[in-house]
Chains A and B, each alone.
Chain A
Amino acid sequence: MKQLMLALCTFFSISVSAKTILISKVVDHPALDRTVQGIQDTLKEGGIDETKGDVIRVESAQGNPAISSQIAQKFAGQDPDLVIGVGTLAAQALTRTFKEKNTPILYASVSFPKQAGLTKDKGPITGVSNFAPLKPQITRIKSYIPRLKRLGILYNPGEVNSVEIVSRLEGVCEAGGIQLIKQAVPRPQDLAQGTQRLVPQVDAIFISNDNLALSGLGLIVKLSHKKKVPVFVSDVDAISKGPAAAIGPNQYAVGQQTGAMALKILKGAKAEDLPPETPGDLQHFANAQALEALDLPCPVESGS
């Protein structure tokens, strides 16, 4: 009997101190995976230890809204201390499912949390958006091409983040005396034609946070660099695919930032008291090889 009591006590003490953090990501994608990795690493550094009974689980909805809802419901049944939604759909599903609960919700890699309904009037919700201010990015592009007059953008009209970015970029470009030429690419198989249509009309191509365009970046770079039109991207992890330069938030750092917020909440801070954050400093990588082939100057601080 004594042993049983002891076992119960131990069990109870563990279940009180052990933290359960459940992460739902919308789809398997290099940028999102890096964000999740950043969250996990930061949590572990902050003392969340899976060998001591803490739980960190990651589920992927594979891009399917119905599954993301089922994942959120599964999470609700596990009574977590904190849930994290990576990507807009995943965060939205968590917000909906946890509506009647008081579980803190964090989001990451959501470009426009307000438009997505991820605000604190919906519950204890906060997080880190991955929207990088557009003006500094355009200024950087201009540092490569001072006489930039026509900037082309390839985007998927089916991605809410891209549509919002394009509409904001229009304002930024107008203010800077640059003509923005938009090319919608609804499906991966349209990328080649879209790029070829855009290339003769522009001085440079910019791709900002568009999953579809980023997934076909190698092709876009090949087609446009052949015509000496440089490609700039906002995803720094995409620099290995050959664009002239990448200027944007570091997805891993976005994850670390989210992880830091998670630790604050786990230590007792209220989610609604933590203001939503935006990514820290923009990172800038230049691709020396590509710049040379394009006859563009290579900045001193160039990375790869």
Chain B
Amino acid sequence: MMSLAEFLTAIDIGLIYGLVAIGIYLTFRTLDFADLTCDGSFVTGAALSIILLKAGYHPAFATLAAFFVGMGTGAFTAFLNRRIKISPLLSGILVAFMLYSINLRVLGGTPNQILEGEPTVFSTPLESGILIALCLSIVLILWKLLITDIGLALRSLGFNPNLAPIVGISVTNMTFLGLALSNGLVALGGSLFSQHQEFVDISQGVGTVIIGLTSVMIGEKIFPQRRLWCQLLGCLAGSILYRLIIAWALYGDFLGLDTQDLNLITGVLVIGIHLLPSPGKSTRMRAT
């Protein structure tokens, strides 16, 4: 059956996409903004990091740069939505659409590039350790941030978009903040993914939203508590579980299934998880 290395790869990729899931959680759940920028910002993070690494920059700088440029893409989506009054869905689609060309520019017109042994953030004996530490500290920072006044304001907007402006919360500022944070995390995920896999491809971002959203939903199922930190950890756990599901689905050959059935098997397994009874249903309404 599944080998240890395979299990660890699933965890690694799961953690990396877990950051994407947290980003998606911030927009789709916290802010209630259906942001599709991620399909583009994921690749922006990946492309920028690879190019910076190839130019000889330090991996930490390449990774941070991806995060901040990712924040910029999110802020641009917020700008389209709040200032030019384009609907949330269309703003995201537009930015992701334009990012395709920009990403190609970043890559210098070569849509697939590999690292030739340049050091990455994973160039230490503790590959997965770094990833776990990074993900957990991001959850911690985000949790601390979201329970400050600003964080509460951000979350209140998603809970009740009509009430928030009445109590003096700036919808525009919060949309900027939420989208920038979210896409920063997605780009960070892209950056880490490309460094982990040591290559970038322009088509890498296809389906990022779906993967992230599925992970968020799996996470909500296995961590149904409404405590904030539970939900953030749930995003990571959901993403890891999603990767494990794919790893299992790859063994469909025992059932006479083919790889072309992979999406079907994965989908059925995800539906299966949703059919499981929720362990914490009774506590759902109490704890906030």
Contacts and interface: CB of A to CB of B under 8 A. Distances in A.
Given A63-B206, A65-B197, A77-B5, A70 B250 contact: yes
A65 B204 contact: yes
B255 interface: no
Nearest to B14: A66
A216 B207 CA distance: 22
Nearest to B196: A69
21 contacts: A58-B259, A59-B259, A62-B259, A63-B206, A65-B201, A67-B246, A70-B9, A70-B243, A70-B246, A70-B247, A71-B259, A73-B9, A74-B251, A77-B5, A157-B109, A158-B100, A158-B111, A158-B202, A160-B111, A160-B201, A163-B109
A116 interface: yes
A93 interface: yes
Interface in A125-161: 157-160
Secondary structure at the B interface, as helix, strand, loop or mixed, is helix
A96 interface: yes
Contacts of B6: 70, 73-74, 76-77
Given A77-B6, A158-B111, 5 more contacts: A64-B206, A66-B193, A71-B250, A74-B3, A117-B114
Contacts of A116: 112, 114
Contact of B203 (A59, A63, A69, A76): A63
Given A76-B5, A92-B114, A157 B104 contact: yes
Nearest to B250: A74
Interface of A: 28, 57-60, 62-67, 69-71, 73-74, 76-78, 88-89, 92-93, 96-97, 115-117, 157-160, 163-164, 186
A114 to B, nearest CB: 11
B208 to A, nearest CB: 10
Nearest to A99: B198
Q: Considering the complex of A and B, which 5 residue pairs feature the smallest CB-CB distances, nearest first?
A: A77-B3, A160-B112, A73-B9, A117-B114, A158-B202
Interface string B226-258: 000000000000000001001100110100000
Interface string B87-109: 00000000000001100100001
A83 B114 CA distance: 20
B262 interface: yes
A66 B17 contact: yes
B263 A62 contact: yes
B172 interface: no
A74 B112 CA distance: 24
A69 B253 contact: no
Contacts of B211: 66
Contacts of B2: 74, 77
A262 to B, nearest CB: 20
Contacts of A74: 2-3, 6, 247, 250-251
Interface centre among A73, A92, A157 (most CB of B within 10 A): A73
Q: Which of B3, B4, B204: most chain A Cβ within 10 A?
A: B3
B68 interface: no
Contacts of B253: 57
Contacts of A164: 110
A22 B6 CA distance: 16
B116 interface: yes
B216 interface: no
Interface string B108-146: 011110101000000000000000000000000000000
Contacts of B111: 157-160, 163
A63 B206 CA distance: 9
A28 B197 contact: no
B181 interface: no
A71 B203 CA distance: 18
A237 to B, nearest CB: 19
B259 A96 contact: no
B111 to A, nearest CB: 5
A186 B202 CA distance: 11
Contacts of A78: 3
B203 A158 contact: yes
Contacts of B193: 66
Contact of A163 (B9, B10, B110, B114): B110
Contacts of A77: 2-6
Contacts of B13: 66, 69-70
Contacts of A59: 250, 259
Nearest to A157: B104
Contacts of B206: 63-64
Contacts of B204: 65
A64 B101 CA distance: 20
B10 A70 contact: yes
B199 interface: yes
Given A160-B111, A163-B110, A186-B100, A96 B246 contact: no
